[in-house]
Chains A and B, each alone.
Chain A
Amino acid sequence: MHDTTTAARGAEHGADRPHEPLSYRFLLLVWLGLMCLTATTVAVSRIELGALNIVAALGLAGAKASLVIFFFMHLKYENWIIKGMVFMAFVVLAIAIGLTFVDVGYRY
C-alpha cells in the first residue's frame, strides 16, 4: 500500500525523524475495516455455534484491537524498543490470563 511504503521510508531514517503523517484515505480504510469487523462480530454472535461463539468474538475483537494498535496508534511505524515493550506487556497479560485458566479450567 502507498501509505505504508512512504511511512516505512520515514522510519528508516532513524528514530529522530517522525514518519510521514498517515493519509486521510488510508485512515478511512482502517476505519472501514473496523466497521466491517464490528458488523461481522454482531452477525456471527446471532448464529448458534456453541463454544465457537466466544472464540469468534474474541478473535474478531483481537483483529479490531490490532488495527487500532498498529495503525491508529502508529505502532507499526515505531522503533523496535516501543514495539518490544508493547509485545512484552501483552505477553505478561497472556501469562496472567493463561495461568488463571489453568486453575479455573480444572476447578468446576
Chain B
Amino acid sequence: MAEAHAAPAAQLAAHRDDQASKMGMWLFLFTEILLFGGLFLLYASYRAKYPQAFHAGGQALDLVLGATNTVILITSSLTVALSITALRRGQTVRCLWLLAFTVACAATFMLNKGIEWGAKFHHGLIPGSEHMARLPQGQSIFYGLYFAMTGLHGLHVVIGASVLLWVMLLIRRSKITGDDYAVLENAGLYWHIVDMVWIYLFPLFYLIA
C-alpha cells in the first residue's frame, strides 16, 4: 500500500506519534477507572452493611428507563466505533452522521436521566435536603451513592458528547482525516469508558434488588 509507506514520513514532518498519544489517553482512562472504582468500592461496602435498604432502593428505581439508557449508550458506542472505520475508508459524510447520531444518543440519555432524577426530586429525594438526611441511614446512603455515581457519570456523558462535537468540527475542517485520526480514536476511547462505567452502574443500581 502506497499510503502505508508514506505515513512514517508524514508523521516525522508533523512531529506526530499516534502510538504515544494513544498510550497517554489510556493512562488518563486508568485514572477514570480508579475514580469510579473507588465509588464502586463504597457502594459494595455499604451494600454489605445495609442489604435491605439497598434492596428496597434498587426496587424503587425505574428499570425500563435504566434498560433503555443501557441500550442507548451501547448503541452510541457502536456508532463511534463505526465512525472510525468510515473515516479510514474515506467516507467522511457517513462518519459525521455516525458521530451526530452518537451525540443525539448522549442527549437522549441525559433527557432520560433528567426524567428519572425529576421523579426522585418530586418524592423529596433531593441530594443534601432535610428529607434525605432524615431517612434511615441505609436508604440515605443508597440514594446518596445513586445521585453521586449517576451524577458523576452523567457529567462524563456531557463532557464526552462535547468532545465528540469538537471532533466533528475538526473532521469538517479536515484537521482529522482518514490518515490522521488519532484524535477521533482517543475521543472514542473516552466515550467507550463512559459506556463501560454504565455497564456496571446499570446492574448494580437497577437490577440487584
- Which residues of A approach B to under 8 Å, CB–CB? 15-18, 21-24, 27-28, 30-31, 34-35, 38, 41-42, 45, 53-54, 57-58, 60-61, 64-65, 68-69, 71-74, 78-79, 81-82, 85-86, 89-90, 92-93, 96-97, 100-101, 104-105, 107-108
Contact check, B196 vs A23: say whether CB atoms are below 8 A apart.
no
The 10 A-B pairs at the shortest CB distance, nearest first, are namely A45-B207, A57-B203, A31-B78, A21-B85, A21-B88, A89-B30, A72-B81, A93-B37, A64-B199, A73-B192
Question: Is B208 touching A61 in the complex (CB atoms < 8 A)?
Answer: no
Q: In the docked arrangement, what's the CA distance between A27 and B75, Å?
A: 11
Count of chain A to chain B residue pairs whose CB atoms are closer than 8 Å in the complex: 121
- For the complex, is B129 an interface residue (Cβ under 8 Å from A)? no
- With a cutoff of 8 Å between Cβ atoms, the chain A residues found around residue B77 in the complex are 31, 68, 72
Contact A38 B44, beta carbon cutoff 8 Å: no
Supposing A21-B88, A65-B200 touch, asked if A27 and B44 sit within 8 A by C-beta, the answer is no
Partner of A96, one of B22, B41, B81, B82: B41
Contact (A61, B82) CB under 8 Å given A73-B189, A85-B23, A97-B44 = no
**Contacting B41 at CB < 8 Å: which of A18, A35, A73, A97?**
A97
| Alpha-carbon distance between A86 and B34 when the two chains are bound, in angstroms | 12
Question: Who on chain A is nearest to B85 by CB?
Answer: A21
- Do A41 and B200 touch across chains, with their CB atoms under 8 A apart? no
Q: Are A31 and B74 in contact (CB under 8 A)?
A: yes
Q: Is B71 an interface residue (CB 8 A)?
A: yes
Interface of A is mostly: helix
Interchain CA distance A73-B34 in the complex, whole Å: 18
Instruction: Kindly list 13 other residue pairs between chains A and B, CB separation below 8 angstroms, not including A31-B78, A104-B44.
Output: A16-B7, A16-B19, A21-B88, A24-B85, A30-B78, A45-B203, A45-B208, A57-B203, A57-B204, A65-B199, A72-B81, A86-B30, A92-B34
Asked if residues B203 and A58 are in contact (CB atoms below 8 Å), the reply is yes
Partner of A65, one of B18, B48, B196: B196
A53–B58 Cα distance when bound, in Å, is: 14
On chain A, the residues within 8 Å of B37 by CB distance are 93, 96-97
Contacts of A90 in B (CB 8 A): 33
Residues of B within 8 A of A38 (CB): 67, 70-71, 74
Instruction: Find out whether the CB atom of B207 lies under 8 angstroms from the CB atom of A104.
Output: no
A18 CA to B8 CA, complexed, in Å? 11
Q: Given A38-B67, A38-B71, A38-B74: A21 and B89 within 8 A (CB)?
A: yes
Question: Which residues from chain A contact B22 at a C-beta distance below 8 Å?
Answer: 78, 82
B166 at the interface (CB under 8 A from A): no
Within 8 A of A (CB), among B172-206: 185, 188-189, 192, 195-196, 199-200, 202-204
- By CB atoms of chain B within 10 A, which of A38, A60, A79, A92 has the most? A38
A71 contacts which chain B residues (CB < 8 A)?
Answer: 81
Which residue of chain B lies nearest to A93 when distances are taken between CB atoms in the complex? B37
Quote the shortest CB–CB distance from B162 to chain A (angstroms).
20
